[in-house]
Structure 1
Amino acid sequence: MPDLSLVLASASPARREVLRSAGIEPIVRVSDVDEDAIAEALPPGTPPRQVVIELARAKAHHIAATAELPAECVVVGCDSMLLVDDVLQGKPHTPEVARARWGEMAGRSADLITGHCVLRMSAGAVTAESVDCSATTVHFAKPDAAELDAYIATGEPLQVAGAFTLDGLGGWFVDRIEGDPSSVIGIGLPLLRRLLGDVGLTIAQLWRHPPA
């Protein structure tokens, strides 16, 4: 088989590092799709899992259609949102929204849902596709007012789904999780492995630096 590359349709450094630590050096191509517009265009009552899948699919297909890509590659799109009281929450963007989100979720649990879309491509054409999502329950601590002020002031929670990270400063305020930690970071390795299998690939075909 010709050299096969994994193209990550995401600007997320956390997703990139998850793949790197797992032996894959991704090619990063950032999708600029309007996530809010895509979500709003979905039919009313679309299940939360389907929402994140459609967002991941839109990102992957945008890169497949517009970016310069290797002849043989697999494009991976992901999107994460936090489900709190049956309401999906994405990136807060502002300190005010981040503070309000933490007011809702501190001391409680919520589900971090991550949609995945895998496109196998050859000579610029999509030859196979597989999509799914993973859900991990996150149990949040109760940061005190000073801790929350300091965390929001770092800017980290403003640009991440659910206003927290597991692998960064937000990890101090996560008591435990139930599920796949890599999915909470933004790309679930167990699910990605299965989706790659659905399109006829193995993870070993993508490893650049296999474990010794």
Structure 2
Amino acid sequence: MRFILASSSPARLTIMRSAGIEPLVRVSHVDEDALLNRRRAHAGFLEPSETVLELAQAKCEAVASALPQVPLTELEDGALVVGCDSMLEFNGEIMGKPHTPDEATARWQSMRGKRGTLHTGHWVVRLDSAGTAVDAVGAVSSTDVWFAHLSDEEIHAYVASEEPLHVAGAFTIDGLGGPFIDRIEGDHHGVIGLSLPLMRTLTLSLGVPWHSLWNR
């Protein structure tokens, strides 16, 4: 059975490889902003854990539905398609990727010395050998993160590295941002982008033992 990662995230790919799995990577190209705007228009308020789970599901299902159209000889025993999405909850607001230096700087100036919660949604679809979805399951990993009290100089240097511009919450714990995180309470893999303990639970619920996915 193959593991298909519906994500372009290098961090998620690294996590999977370190856990003994070399996944096939298929990018979903889901328009996250459009989905969030529709959700805001419908509900008015975005609940963080529900939002990341819905985005993870959208990414996963977009890739799973396209697989029958793609020649894949590796689906002899079926496959698991996994989609993920991460967002930081801070002061009751959802924070995705900042994208611009000004936004990243403003976020760090407000977050320093304080705590936020990083939510990562996981959605898994099991496919049979024909690429047809036969089951699906999802869950959210939530980890509290305490940010160091950075100086303005440290914030400007970190933003200038461009690392925080394209990651959820404008920080990493497995890169340049690691020294700027005082501590976490929860699963550090979930903060990086994919919770291995949660993934094991989800795959088992679909009848797939985690060790059966090892292929490295």
- Given the two structures, how large is their TM-score scaled by the length of structure 2? 0.93
1:192 aligns with 2:199: yes
User: Residues 1-212 of structure 1 correspond to what in structure 2 (within 5 A)?
Assistant: 4-42=1-39, 43-67=43-67, 68=70, 69=72, 70-71=74-75, 72-122=78-128, 123-209=130-216
2:116–2:144 CA contact under 8 A, matched in 1 = yes
The amino acid across from 2:44 in the alignment is P
> For residues 123-150 of structure 1, what are the alpha-carbon distances to aligned partners after superposition, in whole Å with 9 as ceiling and x for unaligned?
1111110011010000000221221111
Amino acid at match of 1:48: P
How far, CA to CA, are the matches of 1:200 and 1:79 in structure 2? 24
Query: Aligned equivalents of 2:160 and 2:7: distance in 1?
Result: 25
1:73 Cα deviation (Å)?
0.8
Other structure's SS at 1:92 match: coil
1:77-117 Cα deviation digits (max 9, x unpaired): 00000000111100000000001111121100000000000
How many residues were matched structurally?
Answer: 206
CA distance in 2, matches of 1:142, 1:26: 38
- CA distance in structure 2 between the partners assigned to 1:39 and 1:194 by the alignment: 28
Q: CA RMSD in A?
A: 1.0
Amino acid of the structure 2 residue aligned with 1:180 = D
Q: Distance in 2 between matches of 1:15 and 1:52?
A: 16
The one-letter code matched in structure 2 to 1:112 is L
**Deviations 1:44-83 (CA, angstroms, capped at 9, x unpaired):** 2342111000000000000011243542110000000000
> What secondary structure sits across from 2:62 in the alignment?
helix
User: SS in structure 2 opposite 1:41?
Assistant: helix
- Deviation of the 1:5 alpha carbon: 0.8
> Residue 134 of structure 2 aligns to which amino acid in structure 1?
T
Moved over 6 A (4+): none
Quote how far apart the aligned CAs of 1:19 are.
0.8
Stretch deviating more after TM superposition (154-163 or 197-206)? 197-206
Q: Secondary structure at the match of 1:169?
A: coil
Deviates more, 1:44-53 or 1:22-31: 44-53
